[in-house]
Amino acid sequence: PHRIAFADMPVVGGNGPVGSALGGTGIAVSAFSAQREASIDFAYWIASGDVQRGPYAAAGGQPGHAAAWEDDAVNAATGNFYRATRATLEGAWVRPRHDGYMAFQQQASDRINEGLAGRQDAGRVVADINRLFRESFAPAAAG
């Protein structure tokens, strides 16, 4: 069978992986929770190294704990995804959180795909992405 291989993001030059935008889903406890203490205990439990590299990863969860990223079993099950992409993770920054960002991310992805498929001028594609990013801050983008 053909297996996919994972690696850090490619870079130009010899400085190594710089990183990427990092964002996803986290866990939080509402201040208004009727079961606040139990919820806090659960949050600590689910985020612990033992759970992240054990039942969480085994159930198909994408662990965030470093213990899971370095775990032999977790990496064996994922084609060494975590170890192979660790430097990119370490260089990552939190993605923008303004209201228009998620729409921008989709529009920019679509524009990149369109540009690649049509072999369009890279400068024009980048200019369009920069314009889309500026527009993502407009009040209408949040609606």
Instruction: Give the mean pLDDT of 63-78.
Output: 97
> What confidence category does residue 143 fall into, taking pLDDT thresholds of 50, 70 and 90?
low
- The answer to whether residue 58 is domain-embedded is yes
Same domain flag for 111 and 60: no
Same domain flag for 32 and 75: yes
Same domain flag for 85 and 26: yes
- The answer to whether residue 62 is domain-embedded is yes
Same domain flag for 87 and 108: no
Same domain flag for 85 and 111: no
- The answer to whether residue 85 is domain-embedded is yes
Query: Helix (H, G, I), strand (E, B), or coil: what is residue 20?
Result: coil
Closest CA to 120 of 135, 110, 133, 105: 110
Same domain flag for 36 and 80: yes
- 143 burial (CB, 10 Å; 0-12 / 13-18 / 19+) is exposed
According to DSSP, the β-strands at 93-94 and 21-22 are parallel
Per the model's pLDDT, the better-predicted residue between 71 and 141 turns out to be 71
Distance (Å, whole) CA 82 – CA 89: 9
Bin 3: left if φ > 0, else alpha if -120 < ψ < 50, else beta.
beta
**Full domain range(s) for residue 30:** 21-94
- The answer to whether residue 69 is domain-embedded is yes
pLDDT for position 112: 98
pLDDT per residue as tens digits for the range 91-137? 898 888 899 999 999 999 999 999 999 999 999 999 999 999 999 99
| Beta bridge pairs of residue 94 | 22
pTM for the whole thing? 0.71
Same domain flag for 73 and 134: no
> 139 pLDDT exceeds 80?
no
Per the model's pLDDT, the better-predicted residue between 129 and 16 turns out to be 129
- The answer to whether residue 63 is domain-embedded is yes
Distance (Å, whole) CA 84 – CA 76: 12
Q: How many domains does the chain have?
A: 2
Which residue in this structure is represented by tokens 């192979």?
A: 84
Instruction: Give the mean pLDDT of 55-75.
Output: 96
Same domain flag for 52 and 79: yes
Same domain flag for 108 and 68: no
- 1 burial (CB, 10 Å; 0-12 / 13-18 / 19+) is exposed
Instruction: Give the mean pLDDT of 73-80.
Output: 97
> What confidence category does residue 65 fall into, taking pLDDT thresholds of 50, 70 and 90?
very high
Same domain flag for 85 and 52: yes
Same domain flag for 62 and 77: yes
Per the model's pLDDT, the better-predicted residue between 73 and 88 turns out to be 73
- The answer to whether residue 3 is domain-embedded is no
